[in-house]
């Protein structure tokens, strides 16, 4: 058996396993009332849009709160698009801004990696059914515009779905480590800003808006820097061709 045949066989097995897990998870919701209640209990804090509700939900687990928060971040990644910033704010309030930032960043990275591999294993047709065909198409267009720096730029833009970017990246030929490093670097400023704001947030929106403005400023700076670099490279290439 050739290497390509072996890879195809492994991918087929992985696809069957992932689809089976998803089918069991979804099917159990309709078959087992206790499981359905558990899922609704997890989803409820996201539906409120209130980080204090999320904070209380995580805090009730005491010593296991950090583990529960980690699991919630992965849950919201797979069940895109749920508001991850609620968890980041809650983590900062519960554990302190920098400890919360570490927890939020590592759990978001784990969620991003999981989404990437789910998409890579299942392919576009199934991934579109799990997420949103229109949402993935929007990210595809973003990738086309910004090329190799798409992941880094997307992670800096708070209005682009973190999870859709992870799924869409898994559908490209992009290497995992390129995706993972760009995600880690690009996600870090947002995590730090959200955590710092979340550590001081008491229900008002002022600090949250300030945090968003900082992220927008960073995003614009990165995009402008990229455009300037691209223009310089284009001029350099034109000069070399004219010689």
**pLDDT confidence of residue 210:** 56
Average pLDDT over residues 162-173: 93
Structure tokens at 170: 């898994």
Q: Which residues lie closer than 8 Å to 100 by C-beta, 6 or more apart?
A: 88, 90, 91, 92, 93, 94, 195, 198, 199
Cβ-defined contacts of 50-53 (< 8 Å, 24+): 50/86, 51/85, 51/86, 51/89, 51/90, 51/93, 51/198, 51/201, 52/203
| 171, 173, 179, 182 alpha-carbon torsion, rounded to 10° | -120
Tens-digit pLDDT profile for residues 125-167? 989 988 888 889 989 988 888 777 889 888 877 678 889 999 9
Tell me the C-alpha distance between 128 and 136, whole Å: 7
Tens-digit pLDDT profile for residues 185-233? 988 888 887 787 777 765 544 455 555 556 555 666 666 566 656 666 6
Tens-digit pLDDT profile for residues 47-79? 888 888 899 999 999 999 999 999 999 999 998
Tell me the C-alpha distance between 233 and 237, whole Å: 6
Tell me the C-alpha distance between 85 and 94, whole Å: 14
Give 24's Cβ-side CA count (13 Å radius). 6
- pLDDT-derived band at 122 (thresholds 50, 70, 90) equals very high
**Considering Cα of 139, then 69, then 47, then 203, what sign does the dihedral take?**
negative
DSSP 163: H
Tell me the C-alpha distance between 161 and 195, whole Å: 18
DSSP string, 45-114: HHHHT-HHHHHHHHHTTGGGHHHHHHHHHHHHHHT-S--THHHHHHHHHHH-HHHHHHHHHHHHHHHHHH
- More reliable by pLDDT, 99 or 190: 99
Tell me the C-alpha distance between 114 and 129, whole Å: 17
**pLDDT confidence of residue 50:** 81
Domain range annotation of the chain = 32-242
Tell me the C-alpha distance between 211 and 158, whole Å: 10
Average pLDDT over residues 16-22: 90
Q: Answer yes or no: are the C-beta atoms of 107 and 69 closer than 8 Å.
A: yes
**pLDDT confidence of residue 75:** 92
**pLDDT confidence of residue 205:** 47
Tell me the C-alpha distance between 215 and 197, whole Å: 12
């Amino acid at each position: 058996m050739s290497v390509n045949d072996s890879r195809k066989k492994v991918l087929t097995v992985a696809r069957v396993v992932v689809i089976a897990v998803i089918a069991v998870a979804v099917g159990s919701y309709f078959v087992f009332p206790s499981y359905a209640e558990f899922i609704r209990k997890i989803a409820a804090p996201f539906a409120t849009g209130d980080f204090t509700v999320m904070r209380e939900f995580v805090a009730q687990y005491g010593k296991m709160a950090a583990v529960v928060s980690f699991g919630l971040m992965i849950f919201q990644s797979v069940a895109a698009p749920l508001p991850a910033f609620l968890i980041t704010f809650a983590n900062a309030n519960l554990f302190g801004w920098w400890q919360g930032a570490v927890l939020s960043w590592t759990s978001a990275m784990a969620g991003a990696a999981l989404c990437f591999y789910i998409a890579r294993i299942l392919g576009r047709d199934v991934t579109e059914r799990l997420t949103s065909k229109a949402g993935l198409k929007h990210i595809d267009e973003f990738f086309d515009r910004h090329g190799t720096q798409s992941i880094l730029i997307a992670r800096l833009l708070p209005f682009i779905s973190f999870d859709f970017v992870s799924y869409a990246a898994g559908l490209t030929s992009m290497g995992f480590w390129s995706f993972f490093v760009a995600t880690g670097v690009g996600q870090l400023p947002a995590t730090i800003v959200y955590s710092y704001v979340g550590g001081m947030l008491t229900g008002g929106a002022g600090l949250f808006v300030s945090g968003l403005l900082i992220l927008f400023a960073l995003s614009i700076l990165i995009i402008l820097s990229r455009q300037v670099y691209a223009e310089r490279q284009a001029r350099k290439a034109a000069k070399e061709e004219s010689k």
